[in-house]
Amino acid sequence: MIATSPTREGLWVWGASVLCMAALGGLGRLVPWVDSNLGGLVAVMFLYLPTVVIFRRGEDLPDYGLGGRPVGRDLAVFALLVAVVFPVYLLGHWAFHTKVLGRSLEVGPDTFRRFDRDLEGHPEQRDGRVAVSVEGDWLRVLPGNAPAMVSVTTVPPDAPMWRPGGRRLRLSDGVPTGAAVSRSGEPGTTPARNDLAAPGSVEVSPAAGGLLVDLRGREELRVNSAAPVALGAYGVGAEPPVESSRSGLWWLWLFAIQALMVALPEEWFYRGYLQHRLELGRPKRRILGAELGTGWLLSSALFALGHLVLDPRPVRLLVFFPSLLFGWIRARTDSVVPGALFHAACNVLATAVNYAYVGPTP
């Protein structure tokens, strides 16, 4: 039974969402299909929970900011937000990366032509599988719990590879080869412990290390493994071989994924439903044309805490601050659509600009 108090109801629904995410995350460790589709399942949950509660109470979706407004008006608000906020963000991003982190802005022909997004990022969740990831200009293949035979090919086929001591190996005549590197994936200083264990393949193991492949100038890559693999930062399960090609249209696909599977579900749950419920009956102040109260702050705090369920890193709490902006957009426009589009665009922009900086990373 849902509590009658708006605040208690909102907190109960948020608590149910946390339990659902935790359950799905745990189930994903046992069921590969759940792990591979975790983002989509969480998105469905965010859309479903508040919608069921709203319908049970006999209310309409436009009362919570979904529908009931001209599409053109929402698109105009979205365009205005991009025009005002993005230049400020880009300037601040440049200052932080160059002045604070000591990195440099370098844009080349392949800067924004990327391989598949599933491969991006340093692996954080491998669960004993062979980790395959693309980080900057490098393909990394890190070992799992047991030795496995791995082969790597690229097009064009002469991609250089590093082995400890800085000596380069090259792919010749399209035949894949490999090199041992340290567990972290960085070039080491000790002699290589593996050479070719079989034609076209190399063994990766916790003792011998993994592979580091230079992707500069490479248009296609293929990684085959005798063991299960985990892709990218979040260890998305995949069946080998892993194949990917560069494309400059990745941002369109990323925007669609962010809009439909991240931004809209989150904006509907946290700003459309939760912020609205937590604001009911509370005093409000007018802030830049929007009526906002403590429910705005509380929903943003819950938004930040919710990000820790599947990714328990303290840095994830920083989403509290953009949540304040998304909550303001919801209150100012009485719609979740401009905020969802802007949320997705911000995620795409944050991904794109990070490709343009090279140098030390935090």
- Please state the pTM of the whole predicted model: 0.78
CB atoms within 10 A of CB 329: 25
Examine residue 241 and say whether the peptide bond preceding it is cis (omega within 30 degrees of 0).
Answer: yes
Q: Which residues contact 198 (CB under 8 A, 6 or more apart)?
A: 149
The amino acid sitting at 122 is: H
The amino acid sitting at 315 is: V
pLDDT (0 to 100) of residue 173: 29
pLDDT (0 to 100) of residue 78: 93
Q: Which residues contact 80 (CB under 8 A, 6 or more apart)?
A: none
CB 165 within 8 A of CB 192: yes
Secondary structure (DSSP) of 192-228:
PS--EEETTEEEEBTTTB-EEEE-TT--EEEEEESS-
CB atoms within 10 A of CB 102: 9
Q: Indicate the helix (H) or strand (E) that contains 284.
A: strand 284-287
- DSSP secondary structure code for residue 243 in this structure: E
The amino acid sitting at 263 is: A
pLDDT (0 to 100) of residue 161: 57
Separation between Cα atoms, residue 95 and residue 311, nearest integer Å: 28
Digit-by-digit pLDDT tens for the chain (362 residues) are 444 688 999 999 999 999 999 999 999 888 878 887 888 999 999 999 999 999 998 998 988 988 777 888 889 999 999 999 999 999 999 999 999 888 888 888 888 888 988 898 887 656 778 889 998 788 888 888 877 788 888 888 765 555 433 334 343 323 333 333 333 333 333 323 333 333 456 666 666 667 888 888 889 988 888 888 889 887 888 888 999 999 988 889 889 999 999 999 999 999 999 999 999 888 889 998 889 999 999 999 999 999 999 989 999 999 999 999 999 999 999 999 999 999 999 999 998 898 888 766 54
Dihedral sign for Cα 88, 91, 96, 101, please: positive
Separation between Cα atoms, residue 344 and residue 76, nearest integer Å: 16
